[in-house]
């Protein structure tokens, strides 16, 4: 599963990315972290980025794409990844599409967390007020002024990606103003509908399930075969008994007929003899 999460600052992309990582066993790829890791590892691209960053410049898109290319080739990214903070512009999205095409990979979905900007500003103001009330210092990047600038930058640079991915039928929008749990549930529902991924817990259970069902199948088939054999044996025995009974009846019938014929013959012989005896006696008297 390969995803991009889109949304303005404060929309909850980081929270949802972490939940997806835990549920599906994929990795979250942050361009900032990847740049620092490449610099620390001293890779050729990392060394190029190091010089630019040291001079206070912005790292060119081709270097960022090179770092992403190296990162998604690593074993832990084989199951999939979520891109965090990239792409930020349409040219970066085009470069990413070209990279994935070369690697024969596809982007499964771009999920936009749509939020109300005025509500985001209210949240920041409330959070800043609560922080001051506790006597703590408000972070420099967590103020309404900074958020306003970041939102303006998002609208100018990143918001065009919504149209870009919508044209390519990759964009799926979720209401980011719902509770964290509801947003998570909606994202999972979308991914399951797409068939983009299977939870890692389900993947682990699958072989055992298949094994259990296979064993159960064998166990069920064996008694079924025995029962069928017994039934066939019983039926065969019944047919034999029926056949024997018919034969016995025929034998009895024949015997009865034979006895009847024999008796009739005997009676006829006796009848034939009696007149002869009487006639002989009459003649003797005369």
Residue 138 has what pLDDT?
83
Residue 200 has what pLDDT?
58
Catalytic residue among 2, 13, 50, 170: 13
Residue 101 lies in a domain: yes
Catalytic residue among 79, 123, 127, 200: 127
13 has catalytic annotation? yes
123 has catalytic annotation? no
Residue 12 lies in a domain: yes
Q: Looking at 183, 198, 213, which one is the last position of a domain?
A: 198
3-state secondary structure 174-187: EECCCCHHHHHHHH
Please check whether residues 131 and 16 belong to one and the same domain.
Answer: yes
* Angle value at C-alpha 90, between 29 and 13, nearest 5 degrees: 40
Please check whether residues 163 and 92 belong to one and the same domain.
Answer: yes
Catalytic residue among 79, 88, 114, 123: 88
Please check whether residues 181 and 249 belong to one and the same domain.
Answer: no
Catalytic residue among 79, 114, 123, 150: 150
Please check whether residues 189 and 232 belong to one and the same domain.
Answer: no
- Residue 29: phi and psi, rounded to 5, are -105, 110
Please check whether residues 249 and 174 belong to one and the same domain.
Answer: no
CATH number of the structural domain spanning residue 119: 3.40.50.300
Q: Are strands 27-30 and 109-114 parallel, antiparallel or unpaired?
A: unpaired
Catalytic residue among 101, 139, 236, 239: 139
Q: Looking at 134, 164, 198, which one is the last position of a domain?
A: 198
88 has catalytic annotation? yes
Please check whether residues 17 and 126 belong to one and the same domain.
Answer: yes
Residue of 151, 140, 139, 171 lying closest to 9 (CA atoms): 151
For residue 143, cis peptide bond before it (omega within 30 degrees of 0): no
127 has catalytic annotation? yes
d(CA 42, CA 25): 28
Please answer whether residues 151 and 8 qualify as being in contact, where contact means their C-beta atoms are separated by less than 8 angstroms.
Answer: yes
Please check whether residues 138 and 271 belong to one and the same domain.
Answer: no
Q: Is the pTM of this model over 0.85?
A: no
Structural domain count of the chain: 2
Residue 177 has what pLDDT?
93
Please check whether residues 193 and 231 belong to one and the same domain.
Answer: no
Q: 127: domain range?
A: 2-26+79-198
**Distances from the Cα of 269 to the Cα of 34, 187, 259, 266, angstroms:** 125, 109, 15, 5
Q: What is the pLDDT along the chain (286 residues), one digit of tens a residue?
A: 999 999 998 888 989 999 999 999 999 998 888 888 888 888 888 888 888 887 777 788 998 999 899 899 999 999 899 998 899 999 999 999 999 999 999 999 999 999 999 988 988 888 888 889 999 888 877 888 888 998 999 999 999 999 999 999 999 999 999 999 999 999 999 999 988 656 555 555 544 444 444 444 444 444 445 544 554 554 455 455 445 545 545 554 554 454 554 554 455 455 445 544 444 444 444 4
């Amino acid at each position: 599963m390969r995803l991009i999460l889109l949304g303005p600052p404060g929309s909850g992309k980081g929270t949802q990315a972490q939940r997806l990582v835990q549920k599906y066993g994929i990795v979250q790829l942050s361009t900032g972290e990847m740049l620092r890791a490449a610099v620390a590892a001293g890779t050729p691209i990392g060394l190029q980025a190091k010089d630019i960053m040291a001079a206070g410049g912005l790292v060119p898109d081709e270097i960022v794409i090179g770092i992403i290319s190296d990162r998604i080739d690593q074993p832990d990214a084989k199951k999939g990844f979520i891109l965090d903070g990239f792409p930020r512009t349409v040219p970066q999205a085009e470069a990413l599409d070209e990279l994935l095409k070369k690697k024969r990979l596809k982007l499964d979905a771009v999920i936009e967390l749509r939020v109300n900007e005025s509500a985001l500003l209210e949240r920041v103001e409330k959070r800043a007020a609560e922080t001051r009330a506790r006597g703590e210092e408000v972070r420099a990047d967590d103020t309404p002024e900074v958020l306003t600038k970041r939102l303006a930058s998002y609208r100018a640079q990143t918001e065009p990606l919504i149209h870009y991915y919508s044209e390519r039928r990759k964009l799926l929008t979720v209401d980011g103003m719902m509770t964290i749990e509801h947003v998570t549930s909606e994202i999972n529902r979308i991914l399951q509908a797409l068939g983009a991924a299977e939870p890692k817990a389900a993947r682990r259970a699958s072989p055992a399930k298949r094994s259990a069902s296979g064993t159960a199948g064998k166990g069920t088939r064996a008694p079924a075969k025995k029962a069928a054999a017994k039934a066939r044996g019983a039926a065969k025995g019944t047919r034999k008994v029926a056949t024997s009974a018919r034969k016995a009846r025929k034998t009895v019938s024949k015997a009865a007929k034979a006895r009847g014929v024999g008796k009739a013959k005997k009676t006829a012989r006796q009848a034939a003899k009696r007149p002869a005896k009487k006639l002989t006696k009459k003649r003797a008297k005369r």
